[in-house]
Each structure stands twice: as C-alpha cells, then as structure tokens.
Amino acid sequence: MRAASCTREAYARQIASCYRDSAIDFQFPIPNSQFPIPNSQFPIPNSQFPIPCLANSQFPIPNSQFPIPNSLFGQFAMNMLYPGRQKQLETLIEKLGLSKDASIKWHLVDLALTHASASAKANYEQLEFVGDAVVRLAASELLFEIYPDCTVGEFAAIRSILVSDRILAKIAASYGFDRYLIVSSSAAADKTGAVPRLADSLEALLAALYLSAQTLELIRPWLDGHFQRLAAEIRSDPARQNYKAALQELTQGKYKTLPKYTVEETGTVQGGEDRFTAKVSIQGELVAEGKGRSIKAAEQAAARSAFNKLVSY
C-alpha cells in the first residue's frame, strides 16, 4: 500500500508538471474513486494517453482505464502536491471581497502568484503580460464613467499613475500579496525587487480573474475603490498628473519612438513660474515647449502641450 501511494504521488507530480507547463484547462479535484490504478497497469504504450507533455512518460495509462476529462487534472495535481495551497488562494480571493465559489480558474490564480525564481516555466510572466492590458482597461472604464468631461490627455495622465508599479505594489501590499507569492529565498531577500514583484503579481492576478470570467466582473468590484480614491487625489493636484508618461506611451504606439527633452534656465527669479523652459521633440522635430519653476515641472508642461497637440491631429 505504501508503494502504491508513492507511485501515485510520483504520477501526481508528473501531472502537476503537465498542468503547469501547458495550457490545459484544469479546475477540479479527482475523487479517489476515480483513481483506482494498480501499479501493474502503468507500463502501457504512451500513444494511448492523450496528454502531450506525458510523451515518453513512465506512467502511460490508456483512456479506457482512466476516463477523466483533462479539465479535472490540474486542481487534483495541485491538491496532491500542495495540500494547503488551495486554501491560501481562497483566503486571498475572499480578502478581495469575492466568493471562493465564484467561477475562478484556480490554476491561473496559482500561476499568478508564482515568481519566476520559483519556477522557470510555471510562473506569472505570461499572465503579467495579459494583466498589463487588463489593468489599463479597468482604469480606463472607471475614468470614463466617473469623469465624462475629462479630455483624453487628462485620462491618459491620470491612468499612467494609476497603473504605475508604485501604485499597483501598494494595492497588492494592502492585501498581503507577499504572504501568498511563491518566490525563492534569494529573490525574496532582494528588497529592491519588492515593488516590481508585487506590481507584476497583481497584474497577473487581474489576468487570471479576467480570463476566468472573460469580463471585468471579478475585478472592478474591489479595484474600483482604490482607483477612484487615487484618481480624485490626482485631479485635485494637477502637478501629480504624469503627462510625460502619457506622451511616452502615445509616441511609442504611434511613432515607435520616444520623446526627447531639452531644458534651459530662462528665468532669473528663484522659484519663478518661468524659471525653466523645456522643449520636447519627436523624431527630431520640435513639437511643443513648456515653462515651470523646476526642470520637472517644465518638462511636464511641455509634455502636456505636446500630448494635447498630437491627440488633436
């Protein structure tokens, strides 16, 4: 009996590797009654087991003796290998104000909270790529709804702050993401990487939730509150609006290049509103200029003028 258990554990580990390294849609645990496979049935030709990553496996089991849909494998493997992981993920989901009984692809949530230092293949990097678009969509929808009179420039400037690593990391930290993130001890010791690590894991989780529902219904109920409060703070203090980031995003998408700034000290009064003059060029052509009491303020003024000019074309 002990030998059989060890064999089943080895088999579960192989399935886990499968589900982590492939796009198979896993969701539910396999009841014990559906796993009655004696060791003697293992050495059956690989061609009879329809999971690509189990080619050349030492556990090739024919479909007729293991008639379990692919969608059942993932959670079973995760539960076999990480008995407490499902409970951890459910706790985090409930912290977000969501129900653990919602239609959630738990294997994606697990990946979203797995750092590349813990697994070179099964980590959040691909989900983070999707999440980068999801968080922008969520922020854009919210801004469009609550500030219908804002210009496109204001939308972009506010959104660039909302989706910045600094803000996303703060949101992730407020839910204690570091308690659920699987990361190597060496990476965890790197404090300089904490902010991007938290921001990336939040974006990955947003992707996991979006892909679970194919909408923002599992995201906006808890994320809107953070973004709405921050957006109000940013609008009350125009100096916080990041037109440089908005202009950079626009020029990268439209011209495949970055804006270049030159700054001169043109005023003589310390702290004067026109002490510095910044000029911004795109592809070698002067687009706009702006003035400010500091270099940063002057560049933001120039970026704002350039952004508004380009979006009006």
Contact status, residue 98 vs residue 221, Cβ threshold 8 Å: yes
List residues with catalytic annotation: 132, 203
Look up tokens 């009879």; give the residue.
Answer: 48
pLDDT score for 89? 92
CA atoms within 13 A on the CB side of 227: 28
Q: Is the dihedral of CA 94, 97, 99, 104 positive or negative?
A: negative
pLDDT score for 254? 79
Q: Which residues contact 158 (CB under 8 A, 6 or more apart)?
A: 143, 150, 231, 234, 235, 241
Q: Quote the tokens at residue 63.
A: 């479909």
pLDDT score for 4? 39
% of the chain surpassing 70 pLDDT = 71
Roughly how many angstroms between the first and final C-alpha of the chain, as a whole number? 75
User: DSSP label at 114?
Assistant: B
Intervals of the chain under pLDDT 70? 1-83, 238-240, 271, 312-313
